Chain A
């Protein structure tokens, strides 16, 4: 594998470096970007920022990506070099050190035919049956390493097919993935506002022998009632369509997966020693139905979405957990909140059973005033409440002078499912917020932000989870290139999980301050931050991932060229 990497490196280096001298004459184009993050870890046992290798002994961790793209002679080349030094991005509790070529590809178009080889990001439909993508914040990089070919039949019909293995950091999973899709685009007669974009796709995944042997060994520990004969290959297929008619856009997708071996963390199993435990390997077909309908006209925008998911965990091998080995992407059905407190409780998509609806309406009353209301509701397939949110927003602005945003968020959050805290009640939060931006001449500005999260209390009067929070932020842009931000998240009414006094056990109100300095010059952006960040347990389907508290200094660089 290393030899292959070296060969590819040399080969790509040749293609990337050799043309540089000829760049002016040949018309080739070189572009790229660099992203680098460095973290200094400063132990703070009170908030739980301790007991990881970084806090104990390593002190510093970093991750960086350098991406280079070169296009010439009808080819596109790309090379990405990834570096992880004592990084906690892969495993928030651990330390990951590795470096190497994280991605490369070659793409060529020959008339209507095109092909790509290397590390490929792609998706079919909305990604329900297949999506390979990168999300650096969670270190998800499930690129398909292989070949993709495509053919355009005229301007309106495209067929593509691909085959390969899924990336696993600097290695590869061994299951073979292959897929194909056909996409059509139909435009109405001239003058009509009608378009249709139907498509269909299919993906198959075949397990490798080592994975199957491991699977068989596990099933052999089951009692006969729970045992099943695993299949090597699973197919997932979907039909989807986007219809646009005037102000309306309607997307609909239906997906089906054949019998597949999955790890379901929510079902019971009796062991051979008589214990009943939660979680077992299961085999079943799965389905997803997803649709969204949008209307946008005259200052009014409305979006309705609905999704039903049943047994649709699709991974490169069933042993993978959390965000590893994902082959698909199930679209979330809640608003993407951006303020610190309104984004604190986010519902994880449930792969094994979810019924979700969302309505989002925005209306611009006039040039200066608009309102936004969002409602989302998620239950399991038995009707049990998982998540509900009502989010309101009023936006007032005086052109180029000031802007005010304010509203209230109401949230119901099922801790039992999302945090896997047995018998914990549903969190009921109310969070009012506002955001005020005032612009001065010469691109100077000041912004003020505040939120208050009010959580419920149990019968003993103890606040759920961390209890009540107060958050304030002041952002000053004294010059066009500089931004300074000072914020504090204060646990004003401590709850049962708040830090406690080591001697008395009393729950403490703790400050989580943050100070950032941003400098932007052209396509370069630098930031230096002092951060104290509260811990949280992120659970998906019963398996928990701890996002520990952070205490320390962060430095980041982003540069495009």
Chain B
């Protein structure tokens, strides 16, 4: 009898501790309904644009799921999300039948610089170490939430990019203008400029086996700056417009797009970020190389 009393006591104590009498008020869910994303705006009305750098590789079976997730996020956020796919790490080595090698020195350097992902697919969002996270790379279940969080921030700086591509010489000139919106007093602010290429058809490992006509998107091809970014030495205060210029001659193997068909396979991605212990991106932008 004594035992039964003890058990009843334990049961009642447990019920008191874990009482679920009060139903929790659930969060509101708004699944995607297909509404169009934000349209392109001029630099004056530019809002916070978020950079997502995805780590991937042609031998990474799970990575197409990451790329599809990014396609979903781009469909939702439009111009306010800037995607770069960095082929680096142990899954990067081309297959014997691959046409291209997407590995770049800058990609390898960024792989190490951005905390080397623990698993694939992983992505770094605005190079920010979010509260409660150990590393910059994040699993794909976290991307959407942190992108929303970053979008809510007002841009400290706005960026305008004007690429000029000479089809004959394949020389690309890029003029960037930076418009600080507030005084940025961080001791080390940097500018990174990347070239990405989309819709490259080549082999990719997937859960359904090797797909030979897989379309690789946002592939990091080259950086016009150092992989650490180039330091901005000018004063970053409202009213100061900072102009930077870069040039690069595209290899023949890169598809620059067909201007007459308005196909734009190459994009210029630029972003301003910190170069201190924090690597946080302040603003990002992507423009087609050929407008």
Q: Which of A151-169 contact B (CB under 8 A)?
A: 153, 157, 159, 161, 168-169
Complex: A93 Cα to B143 Cα, angstroms: 21
Tell me if B13 counts as interface (CB < 8 A to partner A): yes
Chain B neighbourhood of A171, CB < 8 A: 132
Structural contact, A322 and B119, CB atoms closer than 8 A: yes
With A319-B141, A422-B209, A548-B90 given, is the CB distance from A219 to B6 under 8 Å? no
A281 to chain B, nearest CB (A): 6
Interface code A222-244, partner B: CB below 8 Å = 1, 0 otherwise?
A: 11101111111101000000000
Contact of B32 among A182, A220, A232, A505 (CB under 8 A): A220
With A52-B116, A319-B139 given, is the CB distance from A543 to B62 under 8 Å? yes
Interface segment out of the listed B19-27, B167-175, B272-280: B19-27
Contact of B13 among A180, A281, A319, A422 (CB under 8 A): A180
Tell me if B36 counts as interface (CB < 8 A to partner A): no
**Least CB separation from A535: chain B residue:** B90
Contact of A222 among B14, B31, B96 (CB under 8 A): B31
Complex: A545 Cα to B14 Cα, angstroms: 39
> Chain B interface: which size bin?
35 or more
Tell me if A275 counts as interface (CB < 8 A to partner B): yes
Interface code A93-120, partner B: CB below 8 Å = 1, 0 otherwise?
A: 1110000000000000000000000000
Contact of B29 among A53, A178, A228, A319 (CB under 8 A): A228
Chain A neighbourhood of B61, CB < 8 A: 420-422
Structural contact, A214 and B142, CB atoms closer than 8 A: yes
Structural contact, B18 and A224, CB atoms closer than 8 A: no
Structural contact, B68 and A271, CB atoms closer than 8 A: yes
Chain A neighbourhood of B96, CB < 8 A: 505
Chain A neighbourhood of B69, CB < 8 A: 221, 271, 277
Most-contacted residue by chain B among A182, A200, A202, A423 (CB, 10 A): A182
Complex: A299 Cα to B10 Cα, angstroms: 42
B153 to chain A, nearest CB (A): 15
Chain A neighbourhood of B261, CB < 8 A: none
A57 to chain B, nearest CB (A): 8
Complex: A226 Cα to B208 Cα, angstroms: 22
Chain B neighbourhood of A420, CB < 8 A: 61-62, 207
**Least CB separation from A419: chain B residue:** B61
Query: What's the count of A-B pairs with C-beta under 8 Å?
Result: 190
**Least CB separation from B32: chain A residue:** A272
Chain B neighbourhood of A200, CB < 8 A: 10
Complex: A520 Cα to B143 Cα, angstroms: 50
Tell me if B146 counts as interface (CB < 8 A to partner A): yes
> Chain A interface: which size bin?
35 or more
Complex: A255 Cα to B201 Cα, angstroms: 49
Tell me if A13 counts as interface (CB < 8 A to partner B): no
Given contacts A226-B31, A233-B24, A319-B139, 13 further A-B contacts (CB under 8 A): A51-B89, A159-B9, A180-B17, A182-B10, A217-B145, A229-B29, A230-B27, A231-B24, A272-B72, A281-B141, A544-B119, A544-B120, A545-B118
> Can you give 27 contacting A-B residue pairs, CB < 8 Å?
A51-B111, A91-B115, A93-B90, A94-B115, A159-B9, A178-B18, A182-B6, A200-B10, A202-B17, A210-B132, A214-B146, A214-B149, A216-B27, A216-B28, A216-B29, A220-B144, A221-B69, A228-B29, A232-B24, A232-B26, A235-B20, A263-B139, A271-B68, A272-B32, A277-B65, A422-B208, A545-B119
A positions within 8 Å CB-CB of B: 48, 51-53, 56, 90-95, 153, 157, 159, 161, 168-169, 171, 173-174, 178, 180, 182, 184, 200, 202, 204, 210-224, 226-233, 235, 263, 271-273, 275, 277-279, 281, 318-319, 321-322, 324, 420-423, 505, 542-546, 548
Which 3 pairs show the lowest CB-CB distances between chains A and B?
Answer: A214-B145, A275-B68, A277-B65
B positions within 8 Å CB-CB of A: 3, 6-7, 9-10, 13-14, 17-18, 20, 24, 26-32, 34, 61-62, 64-65, 68-69, 71-73, 75-76, 89-90, 96, 108, 111-112, 115-120, 131-132, 134-135, 139-149, 205-209
